[in-house]
Amino acid sequence: MLITQLKSKDTIDTLIKGKTVIINCHGCKEVCFPEHEAAELQKELSATGNIMEVITRDYICNPDNLRLQLQKYMAKINASDIVMVFSCGVGVQTVAEYLEDKKVYSGCDTYPLPGFQGVTPLEFACGQCGECYLNYTGGICPITACSKSLINGQCGGSKNGKCEVDKDMDCGWERIYRKLEKMDRLDTLNYPAKVRKFWNPDADPPKVD
Amino acid sequence: MKLTELFQRGEFVVTCEVGPPKGFHIEHLLHEVETYLKDRVTAVNVTDNQSSVMRLGSLATCKALKDKGLTPIFQLTCRDRNRIALQSDILSAAMLGIENLLLLTGDHTRMGDNPQAKPVFDLDSVSLIHMVKKLEQGEDLAGNALEGEPPKFAKGAVVSACSDSVDVQLAKMERKVKAGAEYFQTQAVYEPEKFIKFMEKAKQFGVPVMLGIVIPKNAGMAKYMNDNVAGINVPQEMIEELKKDKEKTKAGITGVEISARLIKECKQYCQGVHIMALGWESKVPDILAQAGI
């Protein structure tokens, strides 16, 4: 099991700067999603007039399923500036890869819970680290895509774009940099030095209904 | 003495790296340092379990060098310690009168001689620099006050100047500068033209950069580095040059010549040189003499 918890309204406000499509992922039995709080928050956000569409689907972590589910919304998505995803880290990464030219942001942090991890067909990994970095990294997770889980950029160990630990593995930070470069969004890397929180005392405890 | 003070005075700073032994007997290391490096280099840089190979500690070795009248640079990696241990070691360094730091992420544990070890990486190089800066401001990373006068260091960092993804390295370098890095040393350079191009771009950050030199001991070592070490490319002509060395049994003279030549070609573009001798400390005086330093 895992729990997704909404990022604070302040954080989300800083991300929604333009026409936005929201994608919620419900229905996955492995994830405890704050449906009520998300609906309240999204109602508030809709009052700003930026929200073009709120889509609620399940298993967006499956790329084929995601493609089919988004088909009828693609005109709106193409016309939007931002796609805000409320799901676990795997869902956000799947959307970010599928909509590769879009600003795809995560509205949630993902926490682990002991127990059944389900049969979700994973293309991506989510470390369930409780502090989702995908909004800084073009939707590529530095915790799982980098052998050292670095959150402030590439180490000196990458060679020909490959990781020092596993020469078959792409350097996560090379991927992050290239994606941001392609999107003309390298300015995203101007965030102040981040210090990883392994336990997040600032966050409210994850809520379970 | 802090390296930053020397850079500010416009001095060309020369440092040499030494690796502590795999054991606790450092007589040989001290002998090499006193014979070949004392009075010839500004400071001696002590590796922290380099390449993830377990060795005598950098901090203890720094103290031994200081006792011999040398200026040590304490290398500290994020691989082996969480933030509590890192901060504690920084305070220990301050207590021992060590004023120069080189702050690194560190190689992965899988690269070394204890590959079963858990890699820590609680912090990374950027947040480590940020942490030291906070200690200098009188509080720890969590915001708790330190007792008494806070420590003050020269905070160094590394960058791969000839990396095949130099733009990604420059982005990290910028983050390090913003976090508080005050000087840089580079990974080994064998391609001066690439280094000069790198320096043109790095100039914007306004921090001193020291050219990194690894003495190329022979053609085999050069090929090994090309295959295995990130950010290093020894050009084919240089490998051919090293092969001739063996034929003429000049035993390392070519490596000395190449190192000196690289320094001469690059020195007007940088603020210092950092020599990684890898056991060939005895060649350092020759290299510096031939390079006109």
The pLDDT tens digits for B144-156 are 999 999 999 999 9
Chain A residues 49-68 with CB within 8 Å of chain B = none
Tokens 């682990």 belong to residue: A112
Q: Which residue of A has its CA nearest to B176?
A: A193
Instruction: Point out the residue among A165, A174, A196 whose CB comes nearest to the CB of B168.
Output: A174
Query: At B56, phi and psi to the nearest 5?
Result: -60, 150
Instruction: Please give the DSSP secondary-structure letter assigned to residue A41.
Output: H
How many CB atoms within 10 Å of residue A160? 10
Percent of chain B with pLDDT over 90: 95
Which residue of A lies nearest to B175 if distances are taken between CA atoms? A193
Q: Mean pLDDT throughout B56-85?
A: 98
Chain A CB contacts of B129 under 8 Å are 193
Residues of B in contact with A189 (CB under 8 A): 171, 175
In this complex, do A177 and B124 lie within 8 Å of one another by their Cβ atoms? no
Indicate the pLDDT class of residue A109, thresholds 50, 70 and 90.
very high
Which pLDDT belongs to residue A205?
47
Residues of B with CB under 8 A from a CB of A: 83, 105, 107-108, 110-111, 119, 121-127, 129-131, 141, 158-160, 163-165, 167-169, 171-172, 175, 178-179, 187, 229-231
The Cα of A197 is separated from the nearest Cα of chain B by a number of Å equal to: 9
Sign of the C-alpha dihedral computed for residues B94, B98, B100 and B106 taken in this order: negative
Confidence at B67, pLDDT banded by 50, 70, 90: very high
Average pLDDT of A145-171? 94
Tell me the shortest Cα–Cα distance from A158 to chain B, in angstroms: 6
> How close, in Å, is residue A72 to chain B by CA atoms?
38
Lowest-confidence pick of A61-65, A174-178, B168-172? A61-65
Spell out which residues of chain A touch residue B234, defining contact as CB-CB under 8 Å.
none
Q: What is the CA radius of gyration of chain A?
A: 17
Stretch among A67-71, A200-204, B162-166, B186-190 having the lowest mean pLDDT: A200-204
Q: Which residues in chain B are closer than 8 Å to A196, comparing Cβ atoms?
A: 122-123, 127
Domains, chain B: 10-290 (3.20.20.220)
Chain A contacts of B107, Cβ < 8 Å? 157, 164
Q: How confident is the model over B102-127, as pLDDT tens digits?
A: 999 999 999 999 999 999 999 999 99
Contact between A156 and B126 using a beta-carbon 8 Å cutoff: no
Give the model confidence (pLDDT) of B54-64 as tens digits: 999 999 999 99
A76: helix, strand or coil: helix
DSSP B97-156: T--EEEEE----GGGSS-TTSPP--SS-HHHHHHHHHHHHTTB-TTSPBPSSSPP--EEE
A191-197: average pLDDT: 92
CA distance A192 to chain B (A): 8
Q: Residue A208 — pLDDT band, cuts 50, 70, 90?
A: very low
In chain A, which residue's Cα lies nearest the Cα of B230?
A159
Average pLDDT, chain A: 90
Indicate if the pLDDT at residue A202 is higher than 60. Answer: no
Contacts of A32 (CB under 8 A, 6+ apart): A1, A2, A3, A4, A113, A206, A208, A209
* Res A201 pLDDT > 70: no
Give the residue from B59, B74, B36 showing the smallest Cα distance to B155: B74
> Is A209 a residue whose pLDDT tops 50?
no
Check if the interface score ipTM surpasses 0.90: yes
Q: Which residue of A has its CA nearest to B188?
A: A156
Q: How far is CA B128 from CA A91, A194, B156, in A?
A: 31, 10, 11
> Which class would CATH give A2-132?
alpha beta
Contacts of A196 (CB under 8 A, 6+ apart): A129, A131, A149, A151, B122, B123, B127
Please state, rounded to an integer, the average pLDDT across all residues of chain B. Answer: 96
A residues 144..173 contacting B (CB < 8 A): 147-161, 164-165, 171, 173
Q: What 3-state class would DSSP assign to B189?
A: coil
Contacts with A151 from chain B: Cβ below 8 Å = 124, 127
* CA–CA gap between residue B145 and residue A30 (Å, rounded): 43
In this structure, what token pair is assigned to residue B42? 């500004």
- Taking an 8 Å cut-off on Cβ atoms, the answer to whether B230 and A174 are in contact is no
Spans of all domains in chain A = 2-132, 143-201
Task: Give the minimum alpha-carbon distance from B68 to chain A in angstroms, rounded to a whole number.
Answer: 32
Q: Which of residues 185-204 of A touch B (CB under 8 A)?
A: 186, 189, 192-196, 198
The pLDDT score that the predictor gives to residue A134 is 95
C-alpha span between B195 and B51 (Å, rounded): 24
Dump pLDDT digits (tens) for B200-212: 999 999 999 999 9
Binary contact (B121, A149; C-beta < 8 A): yes
**Which residue in A195, A196, A198 has the most chain B C-beta atoms within 10 A of its own C-beta, making it the best mutation to test that interface?**
A195
Mean pLDDT of B77-93: 98
On whether the CB atoms of residues A169 and B108 are closer than 8 A, the answer is no
Q: List pLDDT tens digits, range B227-279.
A: 988 889 999 999 999 988 765 656 689 999 999 999 999 999 999 999 999 99
| Contact criterion met (CB < 8 Å) for B127 and A192 | no
3-state secondary structure of A87: coil
pLDDT in tens, B19-43: 999 999 999 999 999 999 999 999 9
Nearest CA in chain A to B133: A193
Neighboring chain A residues of B127 at a CB cutoff of 8 Å:
151-152, 193-196
pTM (two decimals): 0.92
Pair B103, B127: CB distance under 8 Å: no
| Percentage of residues of chain A with pLDDT beyond 90 | 77
So what's the pLDDT on residue A207?
44
Residue A117: pLDDT band (50, 70, 90) is low
